[in-house]
């Protein structure tokens, strides 16, 4: 362990965290109109409906795999009865499928963006840089997976990278553990930190504003304008009541003009 290791694995992670959090706060405060995916679905949707779910669901699976591998200690899985061989088999099989799916999805998105004229015209230099960073992170991850299978000299990441990652959150970075990891993991981690550092300044910010409230919002109820039921219709029990405070309801009653009765006349 030397000064370079201390800078890379002891100081740089916290710089990246501050850049990520500070950048997101700054972006939300000063560029809310730019906090968007800038969707190009109106220009082309045939290829997008395949590539976008493939990439997004694949990256979610990759994220879950990284969280399990980095957060859950090796002793916990062994105590649960999952051997090291079984764990690696599951991690490699599921991780490879998720990684390949993510790679195919992003390649399809890049090809679509390059070959579709209106989409390519709407592509900025920032978008191109974002795709390079994403593609590099995915390729680096797949490379570590391949090397961990065919290269016997590759060090187990659960004994190096995982302890280092967990030590960051208790403000006691285990620089020696990360320095002992294989070169492929060094490249993958450094590229991942670079990706998180530029995250707030790209379209990737939309990942922090996923419309999760859509899963819990009430149903949209459509009603006929006519009060009288149609012939053959069934009268259903009303399932909701209007929401409002008493002061608003009383103010509406005060401002509402009186309704005239049928057949009555108004006299000055």
* Residues annotated in a binding site for heme b: 56, 66, 188, 206
DSSP collapsed to 3 states, the chain = CCHHHHHHHHHHHHHHHHHHHHHHHHHHHHCCCCCCCCCCCCCCCCCHHHHHHHHHHHHHHHHHHHHHHHHCCHHHHHHCCCCHHHHHHHHHHHHHHHHHHHHHHHHHHHHHHHHCHHHHHCCCHHHHHHHHHHHHHHHHHHHHHHHHHHCCCCCCHHHCHHHHHHHHCCCCCCHHHHHCCCHHHHHHHHHHHHHHHHHHHCHHHHHHHCCHHHHCCCCCCCCCCCCCCCCCCCCCCCCCCCCCCHHHHHHHHHHCCCCCCCCCCCCC
Tokens (6 digits) for 190: 């450094």
Known binding residues: 56, 66, 188, 206
- Dmax of the chain from CA atoms? 101
Q: Is 196 within 8 Å of 135 (Cβ atoms)? A: no
């Amino acid at each position: 362990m030397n000064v370079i290791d201390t800078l890379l694995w002891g100081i740089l992670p916290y710089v990246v965290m501050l850049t990520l959090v500070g950048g997101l706060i700054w972006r939300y405060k000063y560029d809310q109109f730019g906090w968007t995916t800038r969707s190009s679905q109106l220009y082309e949707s045939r290829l997008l409906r395949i590539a976008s779910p493939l990439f997004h669901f694949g990256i979610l699976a990759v994220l879950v795999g990284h969280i399990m591998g980095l957060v859950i200690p090796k002793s916990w899985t062994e105590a649960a009865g999952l051997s090291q061989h079984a764990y690696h088999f599951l991690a490699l099989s599921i991780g490879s499928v998720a990684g390949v799916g993510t790679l195919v999805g992003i390649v399809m998105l890049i090809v679509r963006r390059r070959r579709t004229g209106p989409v390519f015209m709407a592509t900025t230099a920032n978008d191109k840089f974002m795709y390079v960073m994403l593609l590099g992170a995915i390729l680096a991850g797949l490379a570590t997976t391949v090397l961990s299978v065919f290269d016997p000299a590759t060090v187990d990441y659960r004994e190096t990278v995982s302890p280092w990652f967990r030590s960051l959150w208790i403000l006691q970075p285990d620089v020696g553990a990360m320095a002992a990891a294989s070169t492929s993991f060094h490249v993958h981690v450094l590229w991942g930190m670079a990706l998180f550092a530029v995250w707030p300044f790209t379209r990737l910010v939309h990942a922090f504003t996923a419309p999760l409230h859509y899963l819990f919002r009430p149903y949209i109820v459509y009603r006929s304008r006519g009060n009288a039921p149609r012939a053959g219709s069934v009268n259903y029990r009303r399932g909701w009541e209007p929401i409002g405070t008493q002061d608003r309801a009383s103010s509406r009653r005060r401002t509402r003009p009186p309704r005239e009765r049928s057949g009555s006349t108004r006299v000055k």
